[in-house]
Amino acid sequence: MKIYYHGHSCFSLITSNFRLLIDPWIKENPSSDLDHETVDCDYILVSHGHFDHLGDAVEIAKRTDATIIGVVELASYCEKQGVKTHGMQIGGEYQFPFGRIYLTPALHGSAIIEENTYLGLACGFVIENNGTSVYHAGDTGIFSEMQILGNRFSLDLAILPIGDNFTMGPKDALLATQLLKPKLVVPMHYNTFELIRQDPIAFKDALESHTSAQCVIMSVGDLLEI
């Protein structure tokens, strides 16, 4: 599986036959390397309804005929905009053509604040493809059920927010890694705004000193192959 980082919480996962796009905040994202008018994908995974995660999902799905995957309330909202969706709920899993998705909890809000539109619970995703498991935590604080995820899934990669204020900070992301027990950790959702500024090198040093995981700091446009 090939994993590209596109800034903030946006990633592409490339399998042999499919391209997945996660939390595609592109057009207004100052750090994105993508063009929302040309990016291609087959599925779009949206963790929650805030502007920096739902982003350009509907516009991209209309142009590419991609299917949006998220909780039922968010999927229903997107479907009313004229796109294909697959609604799920936390604790549910489904076998898609590209692999299996399990929806995880995420301790966070989910709404289009400008419209006062509630879009269900925030979530994360465990994506399994050909024996490889990737956990994209979405925006979340730490929660004890991460230990269950670590026991249930043999995670090759955990993509965790470290920005603090709105999500876990570095200290809780370190604790989350101890619960999840992934082989690799990629930090996300930091340094996009001044309010979530963090030092990823310090996080990497702490994580690799206190866990068996390797921390991979990805710059925008970087590729990680697992």
Please write the tens of the pLDDT for every residue from 49-71. Answer: 999 999 999 999 999 999 999 99
What does the DSSP 8-state code read for residue 153?
Answer: -
Residue 116 is predicted with a pLDDT of 87
CA-CA-CA-CA dihedral for 66, 69, 74, 79, to nearest 10: 40
Residues in a beta bridge with 70: 87
Predicted confidence (pLDDT) at residue 121 exceeds the cutoff of 90: yes
Predicted confidence (pLDDT) at residue 91 exceeds the cutoff of 90: yes
What percent of the chain has a predicted confidence (pLDDT) above 90? 97
Query: b/e for 193-204, b at 16 or more Cβ within 10 A?
Result: eeebebebeebb
2-225 is a CATH 2.30.110.10 domain? no
What CA–CA distance (Å, rounded) separates 49 from 46?
A: 8
H or E element in which residue 79 lies: helix 72-79
Residue 134 is predicted with a pLDDT of 98
What CA–CA distance (Å, rounded) separates 28 from 117?
A: 20
Residue 113 is predicted with a pLDDT of 86
Instruction: Quote the radius of gyration of the chain (alpha carbons, Å).
Output: 16
